[in-house]
Structure formats: C-alpha cells, structure tokens
Amino acid sequence: MDSLTLIGLASIITAGACMAIGSLGPALGQAKAVSSALSSIAQQPDEAGTIARTLFVGLAMIESMAIYCFVVSMILLFANPFWRYIISKAGG
C-alpha cells in the first residue's frame, strides 16, 4: 500500500471512530438529562417551565459536542490537511 492509500484509510477509520464515540457520549448525557428533568418535574410540577427551559439549554450544550465530532469527521473525510502534503510528496 502506498502512503496516499494509508492516509485515506486512516482518515476514514478515524472519522468513523470519531462519530461513534462522539455520538455515544452525548446520547447517554441527553438520556440522563431528560430522565433527571422528568423526575424533577414529577416531584415539583409547579416548576415545570423553569426545569424545561434549563433542560433545553443543557440539551443544546450537550448536542454541541456531537456536532463538533461531526465537523471533525467531515474535515477528515473531505478537507484533510494531510492530503496536500502527501500528494506533493508523492509528486502528484
């Protein structure tokens, strides 16, 4: 295998691992946040609006980690910074 193929293979595997691990954490975090919010609303129904508002802000912050992993994966697949270097060294 030449170096260009290895860089491509490593990029694809790394992008897949980044999305797998990067989406597992936020999924578990969101499940825990929703579970806790529902438990809190069940205990204090008068504060449901405040709890829900805080929940949605927290869910947005948790989701941002998954979005960052998605962006890193897209960079690795389509705008890999190593491609130009490897292609220039390969003489292409």
What is the pLDDT, as a whole number, of residue 92? 59
What is the pLDDT, as a whole number, of residue 58? 93
- This prediction has a pTM of 0.72
Give me the CATH number covering residue 8: 1.20.20.10
Residue at 92 is within a domain: no
What is the pLDDT, as a whole number, of residue 57? 95
Residue at 72 is within a domain: yes
Angle at 63 between CA 11 and CA 70, to 5 degrees: 15
Domain count, the chain: 1
From the list 60, 16, 56, 9, the residue with the least C-alpha distance to 37 is 56
| Single-letter code of the amino acid located at 35 | S
Mean pLDDT split into 10-residue runs, the chain, 92 residues: 80 89 92 95 94 94 92 86 76 65
Mark 55-64 as b/e (b = at least 16 C-beta within 10 Å).
beebbeebee
Helices (H), 1-92: 3-43, 48-78, 81-90
